[in-house]
């Protein structure tokens, strides 16, 4: 396939492109600055540049968006929302205005769609939660759905916690855990739904080519874990103790609203559609995923 990828320098994009190329696909990067190589395509969502540059791709993978990591204030939340929703609206407008539209549009989303749901088992047809992240994800997916109304197959990849040695949650946790200062967050009873970066990129390739996959697809391992078990396994892989918990009040003091939405929220998510489409998970268990990331690279 000829594939166009936005957010190509991010955690997922930087791993996805070499993986797609290794599978024989021709890949170009969507960039917001003047191209410096023939593998880049210029597109500025703010100015809506020439849509013809988007013509002729079989698939588009849209990963661009402001990082949600960091203390949330009004400005940060506005950037999180605008970069996803307005950016997606602009790109979809461009893709649907050209003569050779892509067959498939894979647009990032997140399990933040479900909000804080305790022990409830969440599948792709579960209702959205309430709060900032569920609202952002709902509007984000609605912006992508406009492409479906124009005949493009749309897949919304609801990413869980992505495990990688290059960034994301694991990198944030490594320093305290390596120093023996790690531990559970809050009660530790909240569910963390996670996925190894190798499964993220392989599953994106899977949905690009599997025409039966449409709409939201949960990108998580089949084995979500409570935070206390997640942190215990991480400490085991690092051969360190996990005896210094972060109380909920401390997490909220340090991270503010982000703590409630990401660190303390519980989302027990099942990858129903990936399992039904026979996607073969490389790392279904957390210990194997972490050892691959932390020991063998």
Closest CA to 64 of 147, 5, 110: 5
b vs e for 33-56, b when ≥16 Cβ sit within 10 Å of the residue's Cβ?
eeeeeeeebebebeeebebebbee
Cα(219)–Cα(270) distance, integer angstroms: 9
β strands within 21-141, DSSP E: 26-31, 40-42, 59-62, 104-110, 121-122
CA atoms within 13 A on the CB side of 246: 19
Q: Which residues of the chain have pLDDT under 50?
A: 297
Cα(218)–Cα(120) distance, integer angstroms: 15
Q: What is the CATH number of domain 2-294?
A: 3.40.50.720
pLDDT at 253: 86
**29 close to 38: Cβ distance less than 8 angstroms:** no
pLDDT at 220: 98
Backbone angles phi, psi at 57, to 5 degrees: -95, 145
Q: What residue spans define the domains of the chain?
A: 2-294
b vs e for 60-89, b when ≥16 Cβ sit within 10 Å of the residue's Cβ?
bbbbbbbebeeebeeebbeebbebbbebbb
pLDDT at 139: 98
pLDDT at 98: 92
Cα(266)–Cα(247) distance, integer angstroms: 16
pLDDT at 42: 87
Q: What is the pTM of this model?
A: 0.95
Length of the chain: 297
Give every CB contact of residue 281 below 8 A, 6+ residues apart in sequence: 199, 221, 222, 274
CA end-to-end distance (rounded Å), the chain: 29
pLDDT at 159: 98
């Amino acid at each position: 396939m000829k594939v166009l990828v936005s957010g190509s320098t991010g955690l997922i994009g930087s791993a996805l492109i070499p993986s797609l190329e290794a599978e024989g696909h021709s890949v170009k990067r969507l960039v917001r600055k003047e191209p410096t190589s023939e593998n880049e395509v210029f597109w500025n969502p703010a100015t809506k540049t020439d849509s013809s540059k988007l013509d002729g791709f079989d698939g588009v993978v849209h990963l661009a968006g402001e990082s949600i990591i960091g203390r949330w204030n009004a400005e940060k939340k506005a950037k999180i929302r605008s970069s996803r929703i307005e950016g997606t609206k602009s790109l979809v407008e461009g893709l649907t205005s050209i003569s050779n539209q892509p067959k498939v549009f894979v647009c990032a989303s997140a399990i933040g769609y479900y909000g804080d749901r305790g022990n409830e088992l969440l599948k792709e047809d579960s209702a959205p939660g309430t709060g900032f992240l569920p609202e952002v994800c709902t509007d984000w997916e609605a912006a992508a759905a406009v492409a479906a109304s124009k005949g493009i197959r749309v897949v919304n990849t609801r990413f869980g916690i992505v495990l990688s040695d290059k960034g994301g949650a694991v990198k944030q946790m490594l320093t305290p855990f390596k120093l023996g200062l790690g531990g559970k967050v809050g009660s530790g009873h909240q569910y963390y739904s996670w996925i190894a970066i190798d499964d993220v990129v392989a599953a994106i390739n899977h949905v690009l080519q599997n025409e039966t996959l449409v709409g939201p697809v949960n990108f998580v391992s089949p084995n979500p874990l409570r935070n206390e078990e997640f942190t215990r396994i991480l400490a085991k892989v690092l051969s360190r103790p996990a005896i210094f918990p972060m109380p909920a009040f401390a997490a909220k003091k340090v991270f503010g609203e982000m703590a409630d939405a990401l660190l303390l929220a519980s989302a027990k998510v099942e990858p129903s559609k990936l399992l039904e489409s026979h996607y073969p998970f490389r790392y279904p268990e957390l210990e194997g995923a972490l050892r691959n990331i932390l020991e063998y690279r």
